[in-house]
Amino acid sequence: MTHRARTEAGQQAATEHPARFDMEIIVGYILLGGVLVSMTLVTAGLAWRWIATGQLGLDYSIGGMNLFEFVLTEVRQVAADAVRPRLLVNLGIAVLMLTPYARVLASMLYFAFVERNGKYTLFTGFVFSVLTYSLFLQ
């Protein structure tokens, strides 16, 4: 296919799906941002622990709570000014888990309000509901 033909095909695609570009950009940057923030928090927490104690290892587990309880516990500690290495690592794990969740939420809102595509609003709504249920599991 010639360059001109490709350009025309691209323009045709843009006309057929004017909102497609934005959807992909939004989803792409949510995923990228989530992973970067998560890795930064975990790395910062580990580096802080190493500087403070000379050790990298963490020796605790998250005792059977769902993601929302987990996030709430961490946010309360941030609010109480109880920032410590372990909190940063926990926040990093929480942000990582919330990344695909946020991506599904953004897709659902996009399909509902920008593309106005009822079918895919329903599909992403189903995925979002099941994920929300699973993240509330006890």
Residues forming the site for another protein (CB under 8 A): 1, 5-6, 9-10, 13, 20-21, 23-25, 27-32, 34-35, 38-39, 42-43, 45-46, 55-67, 70, 86, 89-90, 92-93, 96-97, 99-101, 103-104, 107, 119-120, 123-124, 126-127, 130-131, 134-135, 137-138
d(CA 138, CA 136): 6
CB of 80 to another protein, least distance (A): 20
CB of 111 to another protein, least distance (A): 8
Nearer to another protein, 62 or 76 (CB): 62
- The token pair at 49 is 């622990």
Q: 89 and 58 in contact (C-beta within 8 Å)?
A: yes
Q: 135 and 129 in contact (C-beta within 8 Å)?
A: no
CB of 79 to another protein, least distance (A): 20
- The token pair at 13 is 């695609």
CB of 138 to another protein, least distance (A): 6
d(CA 65, CA 98): 15
Element (H, E) at 131: helix 118-135
